[in-house]
Amino acid sequence: MDQNNKYDGVARVFDFFREGDMRRWGHAQKNHFKHMQGKVLHIGIGTGMEIINFPSGLDITGVDLSPKMLERALWRARQYQGKIRFCLMNAESLAFPDNTFDTVATVCVFCTVAHPVAGLKECRRVLKPGGKLLMFEHVMSKNLIYGLSLKFMSLFTTALEGTHLDRNTVENVRKAGFTVQKEKNVYLDIVKTIEGVK
């Protein structure tokens, strides 16, 4: 099964399984995304659960590779006090010209993108010079015990839904050419907010 079919398949239960995360992380996301400005590209918008944590009045373009997920995001987009449009697109091949956006935002997406550095390079390409990359992602822990748990669970999550729990996303952001300005732990050293600049 390819990645978009996988996400079409889980679209119906996606909100239910993410509800706990949203309750835990809502406040941290609001704090992190308050720095969004101008034209925003939201990679992997999914069912749009995070829209509620974005500041109002922005011009947001949400991309996702699952049409079913985007269908479910529509009602949330209608409630947003600003502009939102959706595009069916893969993060690794964005169909936007260079230097288009002021901010690129992601929430737990680069654990599932097949080639994360390639995807991040695309984000960098579409960002204007000085533009911000705001990520809310889970990464591999440096703690041996937490790291082993993540490595073990990653075997199952990768096979089931293509989610890698053992990625070093902060390093991938650097590899893609961004300057990492801030990196903040939200839960242990696993869930992080990352701020990069082109």
Least distance to another protein, CB of residue 109, Å: 15
11, 77, 133, 186: which one binds another protein (CB under 8 A): 186
Span of 51-59, 99-107, 117-125, 188-196 interacting with another protein by CB under 8 A = 188-196
**94, 126 contact by CB (below 8 A):** yes
Does 159 engage in binding with another protein (CB under 8 A)?
no
Question: What is the rounded CA–CA span in Å between residue 10 and residue 1?
Answer: 12
Span of 46-54, 124-132, 149-157, 169-177 interacting with another protein by CB under 8 A = 149-157
Closest by Cα among 41, 18, 65 to 120: 41
Does 171 engage in binding with another protein (CB under 8 A)?
no
Tell me how far CA of residue 168 lies from CA of 128, 145, 171, 194, in angstroms: 25, 16, 6, 12
Residues facing residue 101 across a β-bridge: 127
Least distance to another protein, CB of residue 68, Å: 19
Closest by Cα among 40, 52, 57, 196 to 132: 196
Does 191 engage in binding with another protein (CB under 8 A)?
yes
Does 92 engage in binding with another protein (CB under 8 A)?
no
Least distance to another protein, CB of residue 88, Å: 26
Question: What is the rounded CA–CA span in Å between residue 173 and residue 175?
Answer: 5
- Which residue ranges make up the site for another protein (CB under 8 A)? 16-21, 23-25, 138, 143, 145-146, 149, 152-153, 156, 183-191
